Amino acid sequence: MASLLEKVQTLISANLHGIVDRALEANSVKVMDEYIRQVERNLEALEDSAATVGGTVRTLKRKYEEFAAATEKLDRDIDTLIIKGKNDLAAAAQAELNTKQELAQEYYEQWQVQEKQYQAMLDMRMKLETRLTTIKQERERLRALIELAEAKKITVKTIKSLDGLANTGDAEIDSLSQQIRARLDREDARLELATRKIADEIADAVGSSEIDMQLEERRRRLLGGKQE
């Protein structure tokens, strides 16, 4: 159990920023896929263990309530026996009461310990499920962005420099996606600007040539044989 909870805690506290860095360095989402597989395996194991602990919690609670109810009845019976002067029976009932109170206390303490662990496991499951949802969503975003970067012939070095990000956690995965998108947008803008400049230069050159040709034709027509 301890080993499982340690693995789950490691997965919960994993630096998603680092996972994304490695995915970009490898130009592949395989690193993210491995993390997803580990989370899914341990999430399933955690759910099984939580179900077992949850069952134990219910059993301990039921046992405690049974002994607590029995001690209350015995306590009342002892008062009745004393009033009736049945001291021997009262003494025997008191001894039984002491035993049941001890057992009730033991069940209560075990119940509280198991309940605390059960709630911790439920909390870990929720965090791990949230982590899994986040990494799956970002995997698809990054996969698309990597493919787009490849299609645009942008080198991996251009999109894998993330040293400037100061914070860690879920937030900067979205920040990373925005940075990559921003780089691609700038690349598109540069490409569009360069294309426009080239187009304008071509248009100007073609336009000038046409004007020169028109003027030359007009000179030949007007000047005819006078032209040297």
Per-residue model confidence as pLDDT tens digits over 83-125: 988 888 899 999 999 999 999 999 999 999 999 999 989 988 8
Which residue from 134, 125, 127, 146 is spatially nearest to 30, judged by alpha carbons?
146
Q: What's the average model confidence in pLDDT over 143-168? A: 53
**Which pLDDT belongs to residue 23?**
82
> Do 132 and 35 form a contact (C-beta atoms < 8 A)?
no
- What is the pLDDT at residue 28? 83
pTM: 0.60
Task: Please compute the mean of the pLDDT values over residues 143-172 and round it to a whole number.
Answer: 52
Q: What is the pLDDT of residue 132?
A: 87
| Angle, vertex CA 39, rays to CA 140 and CA 148, nearest 5 | 15
Helices (H), the chain: 2-12, 16-25, 30-83, 87-151, 156-159, 171-223
Strand positions, DSSP E, the chain: none
SS3 category, 77: helix
Q: Where are the domains of the chain?
A: 2-226
d(CA 148, CA 129) in angstroms, rounded, equals: 29
Listed residue (194, 195, 190, 193) closest to 158, CA to CA: 190
Residue identified by tokens 């965090």 is 127
Residues with Cβ within 8 Å of 115's Cβ and at least 6 positions away in sequence, in order, are: 57, 61
Mean pLDDT of the residues in the chain = 76
Distance between CA 61 and CA 114 in Å, rounded? 10
- 3-state secondary structure (DSSP) of residue 28: coil
The rounded distance, in Å, linking the Cα atoms of 153 and 161 is: 17
